[in-house]
């Protein structure tokens, strides 16, 4: 019964999914304003941190709205391309569940802003799937990734995921590979030009790139450790489920999920390899996980066991809020 209700397109379900992050976020507005240390990140990222320090409540509100916007974009991406064979608001639910779980990050972070640009990358590359001619969508995707990296530098390495996407969903057209590289270079060309015009040594930008690798410590509470242990447990279950079903999926859906897999693996690798990536990488990793979990709960049998699995996500979220 629980899954039957929440997997519907009723307006009440959408309202509940939007209210969920709002209610979870409200106590964070009352926290005493603190200065968030600038970890020596990229130029735009430093401006975001400065804005957060000077306008704490407004920045926190913008962060909440961005999370809801990201969840909405995930719903629309599936509505346009239908790689999950149902129109469902569940991607919004799971993205919000994952993205708001760290109360330590209830402020406007560079990683959150960059994640919105990465979601737009999926819009551009998926739109190129059925284009017969040369597509310039990959130029746009390269620009988006480079811009995201000027905000949150570890996203630069997701360009490899873009190249893998080219292999998965497009025939080999060398111009599209060149477009991707040109797109990656354009924002940096503008950045270096701005540094030159402002008479700022270009070495400052390279120094910021280097500083972005510095470790960003974060203390996890017991409730958060338990929550992400459950997420890992469910990644295993839903991955096994989709692996069994992948041969029966439509070709475009199969390829799109392989793209999500590539980006998830790279986000996970960046989290463990790049010390400066920190837990902010969860905003990007939450995107493929939202679709993975949605696929499971859309296709699974309606039983009390799966209702229980579904309910545990929200119960653990409530525990994190009161803990």
Query: Residue 80: how many CA atoms within 13 Å on its side-chain side?
Result: 16
Task: Check: pTM over 0.95? Answer yes or no.
Answer: no
Residue 102 confidence (pLDDT): 77
Burial class (CB in 10 A: 0-12, 13-18, 19+), 201: exposed
Distance CA 190, CA 222 (A): 44
Residue 7 confidence (pLDDT): 72
pLDDT tens digits, one per residue of 227-241:
888 999 999 999 999
CB 269 within 8 A of CB 209: no
User: What is residue 55's DSSP assignment?
Assistant: S
Residue 289 confidence (pLDDT): 95
Residue 37 confidence (pLDDT): 43
Residue 33 confidence (pLDDT): 45
Residue 54: how many other CB atoms lie within 10 Å: 11
- The DSSP string of 210-246 is HHTTS----PPPHHHHHHHHHHHHHHHHHHHHHHHHG
The H or E element spanning position 6 is helix 2-6
Residue 102: how many other CB atoms lie within 10 Å: 20
Distance CA 117, CA 115 (A): 5
Dihedrals phi, psi of 265, to nearest 5 degrees:
-65, -40
Low-confidence ranges of the chain (pLDDT < 70): 1, 29-41, 211-219, 275-277, 323
What's the distance, Cα to Cα, between the start and end of the chain in Å? 29
Residue entry with tokens 């509505």:
79
pLDDT tens digits, one per residue of 178-187:
999 999 999 9
Residue 115 confidence (pLDDT): 93
CB 36 within 8 A of CB 104: no
Residue 66 confidence (pLDDT): 94
Q: Which 3-state string (H, E, C) describes 69-136? A: HHHHHHHHHHHHHCCCCCCCCHHHHHHHHHHCCCHHHCCCCHHHHHHHHHHHHHHHHHHCCCCCCCCC
CB 289 within 8 A of CB 94: yes
Every domain of the chain and the residues it spans: 2-322
């Amino acid at each position: 019964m629980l899954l039957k209700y929440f997997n519907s397109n009723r307006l009440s379900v959408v309202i509940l999914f939007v209210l969920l992050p709002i209610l979870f976020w409200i106590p964070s507005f009352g926290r005493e304003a603190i200065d968030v240390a600038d970890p020596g990140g990229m130029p735009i990222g430093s401006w975001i941190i400065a804005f957060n320090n000077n306008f704490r409540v407004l920045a926190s509100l913008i962060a909440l709205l961005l999370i809801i916007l990201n969840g909405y974009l995930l719903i629309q991406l599936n509505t346009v391309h239908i790689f999950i064979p149902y129109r469902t608001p569940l991607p919004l639910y799971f993205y919000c569940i994952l993205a708001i779980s760290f109360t330590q990050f209830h402020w406007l972070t560079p990683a959150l802003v960059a994640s919105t640009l990465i979601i737009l990358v999926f819009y551009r590359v998926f739109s190129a799937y059925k284009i017969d001619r040369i597509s310039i969508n990959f130029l746009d995707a390269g620009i988006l990734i480079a811009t995201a990296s000027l905000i949150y530098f570890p996203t630069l390495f997701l360009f490899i995921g873009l190249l893998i996407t080219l292999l998965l969903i497009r025939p080999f057209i060398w111009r599209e590979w060149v477009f991707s590289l040109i797109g990656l270079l354009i924002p940096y060309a503008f950045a270096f030009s701005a540094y030159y015009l402002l008479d700022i040594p270009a070495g400052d930008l390279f120094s910021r790139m280097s500083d972005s690798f510095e470790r960003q410590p974060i203390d996890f509470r017991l409730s958060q450790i338990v929550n992400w242990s459950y997420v890992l447990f469910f990644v295993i279950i839903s991955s096994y489920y989709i692996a069994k079903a992948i041969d029966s999926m439509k070709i475009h859906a199969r390829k799109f999920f392989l793209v999500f897999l590539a980006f998830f693996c790279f986000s996970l690798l960046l989290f463990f390899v790049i010390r400066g990536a920190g837990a902010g990488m969860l905003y990007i990793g939450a995107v493929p996980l939202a679709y993975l979990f949605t696929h499971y709960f859309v296709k699974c049998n309606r039983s009390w066991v799966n209702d229980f699995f579904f309910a545990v996500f929200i119960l653990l979220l409530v525990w994190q809020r009161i803990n």
